[in-house]
Each structure stands twice: as C-alpha cells, then as structure tokens.
C-alpha cells in the first residue's frame, strides 16, 4: 500500500488505535465550558509542589501514568514515550520521563507538540516499531508566562489579542490493535488514526508575542489546504476540523485565509483555544499552550468520537515557534501545524 | 520480520541508506585533529551575520542545503527534515526549516539530537513514510555559553571538567535505496542503518553545569548495555563504539561504569568530544554540544565507513538535559543517549 501522499502527507496501513487517554487541567480550565470532560481538575495549580515548573512536571507524569493505568498495563508495557512541552529544554517531559523510566523521544513543536507526537507515534506503530506508544504534552500558565513574557509579579494586563496559556496535560496512548483488557469507560478502541500531514514552518512576519493566534493561523491554513490537496479531499469529508489554540482572533484569521484559498471552514471548524474558556472568564482571545490541544483532544474530541457523535475529525495542533531571544534580535514568529485524522471505525 | 527487540531496541527491514552527508565547523574545530574531514571550515564564527544565533541558524541551513545538493536533488525531493539544536525553542533548526520549506519535525534530545533524528528517520524510512529524510543538528560555542552558563563578556575561566561547545552543524540524509545520481565522492550508498536503541532518561544526581561528561556517562552506559542485551551482542560484534561528547573525564567514567557491568569498552571506544580538539588547544576535557556528534559522525565516522576502514559502528550521541532553571530549583541534570548501528554493506 502507498503510504506517502502528495507533498507532505502519510497514510497508515495498520491504523493505530487510540487505546487510552488521560487529561489533567487547572482550576480555571476546569471551570470552563469543557470542564466536565477532563479527568482531573486541580484545585491548586501548584499541586503541592515547590514551584510551578515542578507542578507542571507532576501533571505530565501523572497524566501519562493515568493513561497507562487505564490500559490495565504497567509502564513496562509502553514501548516509547513521545512528547514535550513549552519549557526550555523540555523540563516537564524530560523530568517526567526520568520518573517513568520509559524509552523517550523528546519532541518540540511548541503548541503543535501533541499532534506532532501522535503523527510520529502513528508512523512508528504502523511501521512495526512498537505495540503501545504514549504521546503527551503539557503547559502551565505560570511557567509559560514567566518564561515567554513577563514575571508574574508584575501583574501584567492582558493585551487585546492575548490568550491564556492552559494549565494542563494530555496523553494519548496508541496501540497496534484493540486492547480488550483496557477499562472500557476510558479506552477508545473504536477510534483510530488513519492518516496525517507533516507541517512546514510558515512565517508571515508577526512579531507580537501577545498575538499567537495571528502567528499560527497561516501555518494552520497551509496544513489544511495541503492536507486536502494531498488526499484530494474537501472540507465536507470531515465532521469536524479541529485546530489547537488559535483563539478567537486567530480563528477569524484562519477562516479568512482559508476562504481566500477557496476553502470554507465555517461550518466545520472548532478551535480548542476558543472553546476552553467562557467569555465571562475574561481570558480575552481564549486559550493557548501545548496543554490546550492535548487536553481538549484527549478528552472532549476523542470522547465525542467514542460516543459516536463525531465520525471523522481532522485535528491539527498549531505551534508558534516563539523565542524571546530571536524576537529581541528582530526576528518574527514562525509557526507550524501538524495534522492527524481520527476516525471512528 | 520482527522489528522490536528486547526492552528498547528496533531493527530495520528495509535498511535506510546513508545517501549523503555534510558538515560545517568553526575555525577552532577546523584546527583540531579532525579538521581535514569536515566539508566547510568557517574563518569567522559570526559568518557575516549580526549575531551568533543567526550564524548558527545559517550553519544549520547551509549544511542541510549542501547535503541535498550532493544528492543531486532539490529540497522538494526531501520528504521530511528531522532535527534540532541546543537553543531554546530550537531557533536554529526552526528558522532554518522556515527557509528550507521542507516538512519539519522538531526534536529535542540535547546533544543526543543527531542520533535521535537518525533513529526516528530510519523508522520512518523503513515504515515507508518517505524516500529521502534529512537529519540535522547544530550547536555554537557562543550561543550555548551565554544561554546555559555565563555571559561571554565575563571571560569566565574554564573549570577542570568543562568542555567546549562545538561550533558546527552536521546533516545526514537517509534514503530508501541507493541514489545512483548522487555525487559519488560525497555519498555513502554503501553505508546503511541496521538497527537502533531508544534511550531512557537517566539521572545519577550530577548538579554541576560544568561537568556534562559525568552527567552523560551513565546514560551512555545504560544505552550500551541495553543495546547489547536487546540484541544478544557483545562489544566484539562492533569495530567501533562511538559516543557523542563525553569528553576525556566522561570517557573515563563511561569505561568504569561499563566495566562494572561486565562490558569492556577500552579497545573499541571512540568519543567524538575527546577527539575533536588537540591537547594544546586548551579545551580542558574536550568538546560537547549537538554539533559535536553531528559533525564527527557525518564526516569522520561515515567517511571511514565509506573507505572500508570501519565495517560496523555502534554510534550513540549523548544528551545532558540541562536546564539552568531546573538547576536553580535544586534539580540534578538528567541525561539520555540514543544509539544507531551503521554498517558497511
């Protein structure tokens, strides 16, 4: 069977099964419209740790552990952990991997990390290189804010295009077949990854670190249009087209850019970042961060697929490859979006 | 054919061919004992750019371009670029990928990035997901020093266990078969990737940011021992066992740790970090950085394989997952080592 399609896409012969998922979010995310879908809602975003960074690491580790536990196996049954986070040197993922003792491949795609992980994980499963592969990503409002923008103590006011980094971690375990031992309520034996599109780095010259949506929208548009061309599909072939964390401003921009390219997204598009918070939560343009798509896809989207409400979803997490240093040196903020297609069998 | 071996290893059915390589190094690396093997030696480590970071990005981009050019194809013929660097948000790789316009999967394994890339790239090639996949990594003394340690302006003295970060970039292009059009002098159609071992994050509690060798040696030992066990091999099955950048101190430590586990490395071991500089170059314990293994493997090691001097090499780049922030919060420095086996057919 042909596995490579068009310019950037791949199709799986032995379609990896979404065998288990898990999500953990902070209290503000838990109070939002999707709150009921997350597995664990923290009361305190320090989670008993000494720093926000250590709390994020704990979310990452516990999230992977919970997904493994739901599969009724031990961590020794996981062939490989794929993933990362927003922090420099991927400290959440790396230190979690140290505790988990699972072979680990660190990835960095900023907020696109969860679909980058599932895309690579699916290629490894289909290629025969593992029976169970865990894919996970996390972010934390307080760790991201102080690394990428300003010290928290400044109490910086939100700008009109800003988004709130999600405090949360999501894990998706892919398997090379259905796992009948998995706890039924959690496992999604019925959901598979059928194909995907590897993103390119796109840059239209945005330089505002408080406007991630505008930086990421062109990358999302590029990946959607390429995906549809590579497989000769239209928007109508999908029940839903999910983006990671464009927020309300980025969502508008994505729809406009796609419209210009002859792709009408309006009826099918769902942005995790725009859906995460309610307007009265005052997060301006919504949510962002690795944890945004990771938590929403692993809970809400896959949940709706298991229940049969969604049959075919094109899911692309979007990453702004934002570097405070490169920004200070006059560089704009490039972005990337990796897409996967989830199908209910 | 079985593709998964033991706890952490994989074996390739359609063994990816090392179809092309390229390397670029700084002037100090070029003046070292391996100088003759590198393709391009810079006279000035700013390379006409406005900052060291921009110079590193240029090295990354030009190195990938050179490897592609040697394969007598255009960048449109590369299905995917895999790789990363040491800088936060992988700015060298990300901004290079923006210029190259190749589908890009960002990886972070600190100095283990080149073997992480080749390992994943080989799984993708063997899985049928691409015909040509480029794997690249870079580092730069001046960008790494000021990000991880001290401002360059301080003129910090080297400590007794310190290593000098390599200024350099290396690229290895893997293909799903021999490319007869490739320029023969550069291509290594005779060299294939036969198998590999995915590393685990190992941490023996080292906290000294100036002793990367000691932090990484336990991870290298873990991967070597696991690899030999997974495939039921001994050191004698290899002509050479290559580590990335342990330096002289880390090399001693690796040999001791392996000896304790019943593995005698002495006769076969070669460390790129220990080989890069001559004693009179005063780099204390040798070289380190993503660019160390990337440049030495893509030039010297693969060169010796093409010429037939080396038939079978176990190559593992080693990464200290060092985070200045985690360090300040009292964390030790975990490490990881990913292994690939290169064979001359």
Question: Which of B106, B130, B322 lies at the smallest CB-CB distance from A89?
Answer: B322
Residues of B in contact with A89 (CB under 8 A): 88, 108, 110, 321-323, 326
Question: Does the CB of B116 have a partner CB in chain A at under 8 Å?
Answer: yes
| CA quadruple B261, B266, B271, B276: dihedral, nearest 10 | 160
Question: Does the CB of B84 have a partner CB in chain A at under 8 Å?
Answer: yes
Write down the mean pLDDT value for chain A. Answer: 94
pLDDT at site A188? 55
Residue A168 has pLDDT above 80, yes or no: yes
Distance between CA A89 and CA A98 in Å, rounded?
14
In the predicted model, what is the mean pLDDT of residues A228-233? 98
Residue B345 has a CB neighbour count (10 Å cut-off) of 12
pLDDT at site B256? 96
pLDDT at site B186? 55
Token digits for B74?
A: 């255009």
**Predicted confidence band of residue A22 (pLDDT cuts 50, 70, 90):** very high
pLDDT at site A187? 53
A124 and B127 in contact by Cβ < 8 A?
yes
Burial B4-30 (b: 16+ CB within 10 A, else e): bbeebbbbbeebbbbbbbbbbbbebbb
Distance between CA B264 and CA A321 in Å, rounded?
44
CA distance B46 to chain A (A): 14
pLDDT at site B251? 96
pLDDT at site A171? 98
Q: Does ipTM come in above 0.85? A: yes
Distance between CA A200 and CA A222 in Å, rounded?
8
A-B C-beta contacts closer than 8 Å = 180
A129 and B4 in contact by Cβ < 8 A?
yes
Per-residue model confidence as pLDDT tens digits over A236-279 = 999 999 999 999 999 999 999 999 999 999 999 999 999 999 99
Residues of B in contact with A88 (CB under 8 A): 88-89, 323, 325
pLDDT at site B203? 94
Q: What is the pTM of this model?
A: 0.97
Distance between CA A87 and CA B325 in Å, rounded?
10
Distance between CA B343 and CA B189 in Å, rounded?
11
Per-residue model confidence as pLDDT tens digits over A276-327 = 999 999 999 999 999 999 999 999 999 999 999 999 999 999 999 989 999 9
pLDDT at site A345? 85
pLDDT at site B314? 98
Per-residue model confidence as pLDDT tens digits over A32-71 = 999 999 999 999 999 999 999 999 999 999 999 999 999 9
In the predicted model, what is the mean pLDDT of residues B100-129? 98
pLDDT at site B188? 55
Question: Which residue of A lies nearest to B81 if distances are taken between CA atoms?
Answer: A200
Residues of B in contact with A329 (CB under 8 A): 50-51, 53-54
Residues of B in contact with A107 (CB under 8 A): 105-108
Question: Which of A53, A84, A101 lies at the smallest CB-CB distance from B200?
Answer: A101
Per-residue model confidence as pLDDT tens digits over B141-178 = 999 989 998 888 888 888 888 999 999 999 999 999 98
Q: Which residues pair with A318 in a beta bridge?
A: A337
Residues of A in contact with B131 (CB under 8 A): 4
Q: Pairing between strand A40-41 and A17-25?
A: parallel
A interface test, pick of B195, B198, B204, B318 with most A CB neighbours within 10 Å: B198
Residue B118 has pLDDT above 70, yes or no: yes
**Predicted confidence band of residue B306 (pLDDT cuts 50, 70, 90):** very high
Bigger pLDDT: B39 vs B149: B39
B108 and A321 in contact by Cβ < 8 A?
no
Residues of A in contact with B84 (CB under 8 A): 108
B3 and A91 in contact by Cβ < 8 A?
no
Question: Which residue of A lies nearest to B86 if distances are taken between CA atoms?
Answer: A89
Per-residue model confidence as pLDDT tens digits over B171-219 = 999 999 987 777 655 555 789 999 999 999 999 999 988 888 889 999 9
What are the backbone angles phi and psi of residue A115, rounded to the nearest 5°?
-80, -30
pLDDT at site A186? 55
A179-188, B108-117, B204-213, B249-258: the lowest-pLDDT one: A179-188
**Predicted confidence band of residue A184 (pLDDT cuts 50, 70, 90):** low
Question: Which residue of B lies nearest to A81 if distances are taken between CA atoms?
Answer: B200
Per-residue model confidence as pLDDT tens digits over B323-337 = 999 999 999 999 999
Question: Which of A50, A110, A123 lies at the smallest CB-CB distance from B129?
Answer: A123
């Amino acid at each position: 069977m042909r596995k490579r399609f068009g310019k950037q896409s791949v199709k799986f012969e032995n379609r990896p099964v979404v065998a288990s998922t898990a999500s953990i979010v902070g209290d503000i995310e838990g109070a939002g419209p999707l709150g009921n879908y997350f597995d664990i809602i923290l009361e305190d975003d320090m989670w008993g740790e000494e720093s926000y960074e250590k709390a994020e690491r704990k979310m990452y580790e516990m999230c992977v552990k919970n997904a493994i536990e739901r599969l009724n196996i031990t961590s020794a049954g996981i062939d490989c952990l794929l993933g990362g986070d927003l922090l420099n040197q991927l400290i959440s993922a790396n230190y979690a991997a140290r505790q988990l003792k699972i072979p680990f491949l660190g990835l960095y795609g900023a907020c696109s990390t969860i679909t980058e992980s599932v895309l690579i994980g699916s290629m490894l499963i289909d290629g025969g290189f593992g029976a169970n592969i865990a894919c996970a990503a996390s972010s934390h409002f307080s760790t991201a804010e102080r690394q990428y923008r300003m010290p928290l103590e400044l109490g910086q006011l939100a700008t009109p295009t800003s988004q709130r980094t999600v405090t949360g971690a999501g894990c998706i375990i892919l398997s090379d077949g259905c796992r009948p031992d998995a706890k039924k309520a959690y496992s999604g034996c019925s959901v598979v990854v059928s194909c995907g599109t590897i993103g390119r780095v796109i840059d239209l010259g945005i330089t505002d670190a408080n406007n991630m949506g505008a930086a990421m929208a062109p990358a999302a548009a590029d990946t959607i249009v390429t995906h549809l061309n590579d497989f000769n599909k239209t928007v109508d072939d999908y029940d839903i087209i999910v983006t990671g964390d464009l927020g309300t401003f980025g969502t508008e921009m994505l729809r406009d850019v796609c419209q210009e390219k002859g792709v009408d997204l309006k009826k099918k598009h769902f942005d995790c970042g725009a859906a995460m918070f309610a307007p009265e939560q005052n997060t301006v343009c919504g949510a962002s961060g690795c944890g945004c798509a990771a938590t929403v896809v692993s809970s809400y989207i896959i949940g709706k697929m298991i229940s049969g409400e969604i049959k075919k979803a094109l899911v692309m997490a979007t990453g702004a490859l934002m570097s405070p240093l490169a920004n200070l040196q006059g560089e704009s903020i490039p972005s990337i979006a990796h897409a996967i297609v989830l199908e209910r069998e």
